[in-house]
């Protein structure tokens, strides 16, 4: 029995002559919050549409809970809920009516509607026409529509788009709660790493249709090797003293070298001071994920 909620095997997808997804092998473990990261136009939405069978993939390349989506479309979709791009809502119906309509289609009891409206904070605007909702309210309604069937797997395409900081925090907490308390698997796409960093357990980074990194959030952190940054009064003398040590960067009176151990860092400090060099600051630094993300996506 596969432990993966989503698996794609060498998935390639073309729009005409343009390849939008290239040899993509996603592996989303059950119960994870999988941050699907990439700049705009990287192929995130196309991939999500393929996972929903909105775009037809070749057979035996996309598996949802271990079953090929093409041959098990309805059975797979029964276990999924999705918010793709901007929320798909009927503007002439109220928020409540949009949810009632979804309940009708999915054969769900209508008493679930009030629960969903309260979950996404739309109870007060339940009877207002959805077309008159703000972007943030539409986004919340879209999330409620995705959640109403209580799916095991949620695909959320940039769910915090248009939300204010409070709304972003609420959605973030909701995702964590759904994964931890209700054992849901969530694939959430974003172009903002900071957004994903706070919620995701696993990360996939895509650019120009290619998966450049896939692993746990800790594995992503490990990619960023720590360095030692020293600020001194005499940079030439410092460089001469460091000798064959690899200098990663030298900027003004600051020099950056690879971090070996805390002992080595203390020895370096002693060496500089004993040679009459004034050490203003010395400390370890780790490249933040934002820069790491830029590094990874600039590779292809």
Partner 1 sequence: MRSLLVSLTSEFYKSRKTLAFWSAILLPLVICILMSWGFISQETKLANDPAQVLWFRYISAILGVMGVLLLPVLVIYNTYAITNMEYKGDTWKSLFSLPLSKFSVYTSKYIYIVFLTFITMFLFAIFIIGSGHMIELIKPTLEFGDYNPNTIIVKFFGKLFLSSLGIISIQFLMNLMWNDFLKPFGIGFLLTIMGIITANVGWKYVDYLPYAYPNLTVTKIMTSKGDITKMIVFDQGIYNSMICAAVVFILGYFIVAKKTIK
Our CB check for partner 1 shows the closer of 146 and 220 to be 146
Our CB check for partner 1 shows the closer of 104 and 273 to be 104
Our CB check for partner 1 shows the closer of 185 and 238 to be 185
Cβ 220 to partner 1, closest distance in Å? 29
Residues contacting 107, CB < 8 A, separation 6+: none
Our CB check for partner 1 shows the closer of 1 and 74 to be 74
Q: What are phi and psi of 154, to 5 degrees?
A: -115, 130
Q: Which residues bind partner 1 (CB under 8 A)?
A: 15, 49, 52-56, 74-75, 77-78, 80, 82, 84-86, 88-93, 97, 100-101, 104-107, 145
Our CB check for partner 1 shows the closer of 9 and 93 to be 93
Beta bridge partners of 164: none
Cβ 53 to partner 1, closest distance in Å? 7
Q: What are phi and psi of 122, to 5 degrees?
A: -115, 15
Our CB check for partner 1 shows the closer of 44 and 172 to be 44
Cβ 137 to partner 1, closest distance in Å? 14
Cβ 285 to partner 1, closest distance in Å? 44
Q: What are phi and psi of 231, to 5 degrees?
A: -115, 125
Q: Is the alpha carbon torsion for 70, 2, 159, 118 positive or negative?
A: positive
Our CB check for partner 1 shows the closer of 63 and 293 to be 63
Cβ 129 to partner 1, closest distance in Å? 10
Residues contacting 82, CB < 8 A, separation 6+: 48, 52, 146, 154, 155, 156, 157
Helix%, strand%, coil% for the chain, nearest 5: 35, 25, 35
CB-CB contact of 102 with 145 (8 Å): yes
Cβ 4 to partner 1, closest distance in Å? 20
Cβ 87 to partner 1, closest distance in Å? 8
Please report, for residues 80, 109, 140, 282, the alpha-carbon distance to residue 101 in angstroms, rounded to integers and kept in the order given.
18, 11, 16, 62
Residues contacting 274, CB < 8 A, separation 6+: none
């Amino acid at each position: 029995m596969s432990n993966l909620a989503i698996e794609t095997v060498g998935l390639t997808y073309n729009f005409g002559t343009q390849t939008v997804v290239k040899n993509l092998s996603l592996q989303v473990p059950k119960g994870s919050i999988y941050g699907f990261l990439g700049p705009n136009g990287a192929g995130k939405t196309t991939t999500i549409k393929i996972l929903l069978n909105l775009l037809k993939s070749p057979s035996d390349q996309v598996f949802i809970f271990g079953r090929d989506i093409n041959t098990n479309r309805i059975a797979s979709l029964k276990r999924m809920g999705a918010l793709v791009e901007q929320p798909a809502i009927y503007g002439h119906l109220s928020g409540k009516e949009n949810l009632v309509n979804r309940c009708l289609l999915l054969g769900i009891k209508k008493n679930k509607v009030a629960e969903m409206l309260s979950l996404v904070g739309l109870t007060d605007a339940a009877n207002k026409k959805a077309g008159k909702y703000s972007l943030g309210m539409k986004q919340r309604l879209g999330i409620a529509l995705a959640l109403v069937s209580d799916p095991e797997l949620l695909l959320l395409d940039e769910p915090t788009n248009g939300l204010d900081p409070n709304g972003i925090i609420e959605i973030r907490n909701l995702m964590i709660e759904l994964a931890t308390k209700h054992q849901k698997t969530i694939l959430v796409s974003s172009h903002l790493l900071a957004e994903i960093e706070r919620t995701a357990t696993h990360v996939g980074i895509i650019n120009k249709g290619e998966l450049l990194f896939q692993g746990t959030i800790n594995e992503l952190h490990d990619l960023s090797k720590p360095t030692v940054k020293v600020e001194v009064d005499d940079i030439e003398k410092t460089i001469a003293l460091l000798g064959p040590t690899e200098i990663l960067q030298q900027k003004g009176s600051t020099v950056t070298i690879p971090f070996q151990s805390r002992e080595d860092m203390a020895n370096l400090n002693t060496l500089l001071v004993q040679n009459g060099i004034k050490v203003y600051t010395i400390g370890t630094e780790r490249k933040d994920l934002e820069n790491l993300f830029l590094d990874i996506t600039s590779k292809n």
